[in-house]
Each structure stands twice: as structure tokens, then as C-alpha cells.
Chains A and B, each alone.
Chain A
Amino acid sequence: MTANTALREADDPRSLQVRFSEDQPLQMDSGALLAPLTIAYQTYGTLNADKSNAVLICHALTGDQHVANIHPVTGKPGWWAAMVGPGRPIDTDRYFVICSNVVGGCMGSTGPASVNPATGKPYGLEMPVVTIRDMVRAQAMLIDHLGIDTLFCVAGGSMGGMQVLQWAASYPERVFSALPVATAARHSAQNIAFHEVGRQAVMADPDWRGGAYAEFGVRPVKGLAVARMAAHITYLSEGALQRKFGRKLQDRDSRTFSFDADFQIENYLRHQGSSFVDRFDANSYLYVTRACDYFDLSADYDGKLAHAFQNAVKTRFCVVSFNSDWLYTTAEARAIVHALNAATAPVSFVEIASDKGHDAFLLDEPDFMSTTRGFLEAAAKARGLRERAP
């Protein structure tokens, strides 16, 4: 796939789209009004007659709406194919699953790579800075557009989990159950630090051109690849890296005494970096990382996280963390659980044992799958949803 394919996806995605015109602008936390606004989304399964079986999935930083179908750019299975599909824990034979590309993304929802109708050129840095709450507001506009009042479940990991928490805080009466996974109620200093390294790598690339690279027909692919390499390390665990790569050499018997990719881990990271730039826009990377950095749910509620959930006392929560995840740690998950307990919301919490680090939430981890299945089945019973057709 060429870089051009990814860019075309930003304005002409192979997805469903809804366009909100000038009279329905997105009110952003920065004070900006974004209009027109396009939301690109995918759906799976069928919405039932009383519209009570809708599951909204919120994607992570560099994820997109292609949860459970073959990705149009990479040709690979959807990013949560293990979790979502017929007979899967989020069962598309039973639930109507919706996933939209976040505002600020690059897979068809309005973002820096989208053409600004006012100028006929991509927004670039003219795009207002996006927050997690802005992403959730845009999702709520989509859900309104689909005529759905209450979501049976809002689920997501990492940045997607932040959106789940924001949904519970902003629209508690519209969230019957919530599944925030491998996430935090605020971005830690360490996480902001890693994001800043990534952004600086992009901006240090001469082809970034102050964000206006599209006008020059270039892309800062080297900087973006380095950003991805650094970030990718944070998605893994030391144990998994050691188990998978150790100090093994790449297609050679001895060191070359050069700066070639002697080690398998180097080769792996270079591959992660170079394949990422085929599907992702560099400016979009700046915007979505910034959205995570700005996220601090308690800040909107006098610094008291429990107050964020004070109206979510009927929403059933299941918080999940992974014990080897050092990006969004179990301690961060417990802080969410404590706040939910203090708000008297019904909450379950599971720490899944896995050595796969933050990435574990994307993988077919049996305990995670069975927890999710059990949580949703119990919630479906409480919601009065019909059993899965035999």
C-alpha cells in the first residue's frame, strides 16, 4: 500500500459517513466550533426494534472504526476481531455494534488530514485541538443521528477507555453498562512524556513543514515512524520483549559492527514504524496524543473523580487492567474503581494476568474474553435482551 491510500481514506473513507452541517457544529473544549463535521463509522449486527442492544466501541490512539472487518488500507483483520464478531464476547449476532473514527483521526472523521471546505486544503494545524470530551460529544451526535437513546454498553481500551469514562461522566443516563479497559482517568506525567517524544520526532522531520506538508506533496514519514517505534515499546512489557526477542540476531550469525538492525528487536521496531506510516497521518498523531495528554476527568469535577460518576449510579461498570501493563497500570484502574465505589455505582474490577503489557487488551487473552462475555451476558439479562439465536 502506498502513503497516498491512507491519505485518501481521510476524505473518502470506505466506511459509512454522516455529515453535520454548519447549523450543527461540534462545540469543542477549546471554545472552537467545528463545522461542517464528518463522522466515519462502521456497524456490525442489527439494531433491535426497541433500540436497546447498541454497543459503542471506542478505539484507541491509532485505532480506527474498523473493529471487526478487514482493514481497507492494511488488508489485515480488524483491531478487535478477537473480541467482536458472531459468537465472540461482544456478539454481533446479539448486539448492534457501532465504532466511529474519532474527531482528529485520519480514517474519515474530520481531522487535520481532512480538507477544510473553507480553504480547499487539508486543515493541518488549522484544526482546533481536540479533547477526549470532544471525541465523545461527536460520538453522541452520531448516536443521536442513529436514533439511539441509551447504549447497552460503551466499551474501549486505552484512549478508548478514556472515552468510556467520559461517556459515563457526560451522559450517564445513556450508558447502561460501561467497560473501560487498560485505561486511566487521567494521563500520567510519564505518559505525557512519551507522547511528547513522539510529537517532537514528527516535528523534527524536515518534511513536517510546520504541519503543512500536504501542500508540499511530502510526508514526515521518518519522524512518524520514530514516534511509533518509541510508543510501541510502551505497549509491550520487558518480559514479553525478552521472551519474544531476547538478544537474538536478525538473519545473521554475528554482529556486523555497524548500525544496521543486527538485533531482532530493532528489525521488529523498524517494521512497526514503517508499516504505521502507511496508514496514519502525522498531524493526526499530534492531535490524538494531545487529546490523551489533556485528559484528566477529575479536573472537570473539582479534582474529585468520584464526583464525575455521581450520576452514573445505575450504570454497571466492569473495569479491567492487565498486570504487566506499565502504561496504564492496575493502580490507575483501582483509582477509577475507588471513585466508582465512592459514587456507589455498581462496579466490578478484574486484573488479568498476562505478560503482554498494554497490548494485551487487543489480544485473545482467555480470562479477558470470559470476563467480558460474562459481564455482558449478565448485563443483557438485566436489560431484558433476548438470548442469542441458536
Chain B
Amino acid sequence: MTARVDHIALAEMVQPGARVLDVGCGDGALLQLLAQTRNVDGRGIELSQAGVNECVARGLSVVQGDADRDLADYADGAFDYVILSQTLQATHRPKDVLRDLLRIGKHAIVSFPNFGHWKVRSQLMFGGRMPRNESLPYAWYDTPNIHFCTIADFVRLTQELDATIERSMAFDRAGQKLRVNAPWWAWNLFGEQAAFLLRR
């Protein structure tokens, strides 16, 4: 199995042996990568039946549930890391979810598609239509992605929640990291994806 480039980058943020909760863990690929490469004690939450079944068959501990509803049940500081990979934009209350991540985990790792990417901007500006591309394939009326943000928006949200950004990275289409010392505006324009390591 070849691991996704962005998964490898996220896994690098996690200390070996940590307790990890992956919220919206999908088919469990990231949790399995973390178990294999970082020896973590991993748990997952996943909404889809198919995803949960795949996770259970991989031997992962995954609970069928919903980030918007079920995070409240987890105790403060129960995990070293809580990961929200490519799911923030699909939650009903992203701010509450992020607040819960920071409460449950000593660290939170959040990755999301950047709506400030130049192609997205140009589609809206010159096409006059809601942007669609490979990583945002849905039509506006049936997309699960109801709360898009840009990298700059996300940084603002972390400030509102008094979270500290420990690490951040942006990726291009191929999942390769952009230059670390590039300014925020450049990331916001050229990063298709972003990932942040946060703490309270």
C-alpha cells in the first residue's frame, strides 16, 4: 500500500507512541499508517458505514459517529493528538469542532483544502461559477463541503480560539510541501491544501 503524500506529512507531526484520535478517519488509511510508522495507540470516528467496516476489518478501533455531535462525549486531554484530516469543511459548526479538538487533544492537527488557491479564485472571478476541480469535485448543490475557508481564514480562527500554531504547511496539487519560509499570502495563493499542528 502506498501512503498518500499528505498523510505522510501529517504522520510526521505525531510523536511516536502517542494516543491519537482521527476524526473523520475514512477507510482508516492514516490511522494504519500512524500505527505502522509511529506506533501510536489510534482511535477513529467515522460517519460512513463503509468506512467503519473497512477500519474494523483493518483491526482499527473506530466508532461510527459524527464530529459535530459526538466530540462532546470525549474527556478533556484524553488524547495526545486529535486529527481532523480533510473534514473541517464538511462540519456544521467548524469553530465548535476545532474548540473540541483543542480540548480533547493536547495537540490538534487539522488539514483542509484551501479555498484561497489561485485556481479557485480565478474560476470564481473569470468563470463566474462556483469552483470545481479534482480536489473539489462536487456541484454547489450536493457538496458535503459546506464550510470552506482559506488559509488566512483558518489562521484567523485559531487566533479567535487562542490556539497556538506549532507547525504549519501547505501542499501543491501533488501533495508536495511548499517552501517553508514563503509568506502567508503566498501559501494562501499557491497552496491547494494546508495542514496545521495546534495546541491550546
Please give the residue numbers on chain A whose beta carbons come within 8 Å of chain B beta carbons, in ascending order: 316, 318, 334, 337-338, 341-342, 346-353, 367, 370-371, 373-375, 377-379, 381-382
Interface string of B6-27 (1 = CB under 8 A from A): 0000000000000000000000
The segment from B51-59, B88-96, B126-134 that touches chain A is B51-59
CB-CB under 8 A from B55, the residues of chain A are 348
9 A-B contacts (beta carbon < 8 Å): A338-B73, A341-B74, A347-B61, A350-B53, A371-B52, A371-B53, A375-B57, A378-B57, A379-B59
Q: In the complex, A379→B58 CA distance in Å? A: 9
Given the known interface contacts A316-B61, A349-B63, A349-B64, the answer about A370 and B53 at a Cβ–Cβ threshold of 8 Å is yes
B49–A348 touching, CB < 8 Å: no
- B59 interface neighbour in A342, A347, A352, A382, Cβ under 8 Å: A382
B109 touches A (CB below 8 Å) = no
A348–B57 touching, CB < 8 Å: no
**For chain B, which range describes its interface: under 10, 10 to 19, 20 to 34, or 35 or more residues?**
20 to 34
Q: Pick the most buried of B43, B58, B60, B61: most chain A CB atoms within 10 A of its CB.
A: B61
B61–A350 touching, CB < 8 Å: no
Q: How far is the CB of A342 from chain B (nearest CB, A)?
A: 6
Chain B residue at minimum C-beta to C-beta distance from A318: B56
Q: In the complex, A349→B60 CA distance in Å? A: 11
Consensus secondary structure, chain A interface: helix
Which of B45-80 touch A at CB < 8 Å? 49, 52-65, 73-75, 78
A374–B62 touching, CB < 8 Å: no
Given the known interface contacts A318-B56, A341-B74, A374-B56, the answer about A346 and B61 at a Cβ–Cβ threshold of 8 Å is yes
Q: In the complex, A163→B186 CA distance in Å? A: 60
Q: How far is the CB of A43 from chain B (nearest CB, A)?
A: 27
Q: How far is the CB of A361 from chain B (nearest CB, A)?
A: 16
A367–B53 touching, CB < 8 Å: yes
Q: In the complex, A342→B61 CA distance in Å? A: 14
Given the known interface contacts A350-B49, A353-B49, A367-B49, the answer about A337 and B63 at a Cβ–Cβ threshold of 8 Å is yes
Q: In the complex, A341→B70 CA distance in Å? A: 12
Given the known interface contacts A338-B73, A350-B64, the answer about A371 and B59 at a Cβ–Cβ threshold of 8 Å is no
A341–B59 touching, CB < 8 Å: no
CB-CB under 8 A from B43, the residues of chain A are 341, 346
Q: Pick the most buried of B56, B59, B74: most chain A CB atoms within 10 A of its CB.
A: B56
Given the known interface contacts A316-B61, A341-B63, A379-B59, the answer about A348 and B73 at a Cβ–Cβ threshold of 8 Å is no
CB-CB under 8 A from B60, the residues of chain A are 348, 378
A348–B63 touching, CB < 8 Å: yes
Q: Pick the most buried of A342, A347, A349: most chain B CB atoms within 10 A of its CB.
A: A349
CB-CB under 8 A from B61, the residues of chain A are 316, 346-348
- A342 interface neighbour in B52, B54, B58, B75, Cβ under 8 Å: B75
Q: In the complex, A346→B58 CA distance in Å? A: 13
CB-CB under 8 A from B63, the residues of chain A are 337, 341, 347-349
B57–A374 touching, CB < 8 Å: yes
Q: How far is the CB of B17 from chain A (nearest CB, A)?
A: 14
CB-CB under 8 A from B64, the residues of chain A are 349-351
Q: How far is the CB of B168 from chain A (nearest CB, A)?
A: 30
A348–B62 touching, CB < 8 Å: yes
Q: How far is the CB of A105 from chain B (nearest CB, A)?
A: 32
Q: In the complex, A341→B52 CA distance in Å? A: 16
A381–B52 touching, CB < 8 Å: no
- A350 interface neighbour in B56, B73, B74, B78, Cβ under 8 Å: B56
Q: How far is the CB of B169 from chain A (nearest CB, A)?
A: 30
Q: How far is the CB of B195 from chain A (nearest CB, A)?
A: 26
CB-CB under 8 A from A377, the residues of chain B are 57
Q: In the complex, A83→B74 CA distance in Å? A: 33
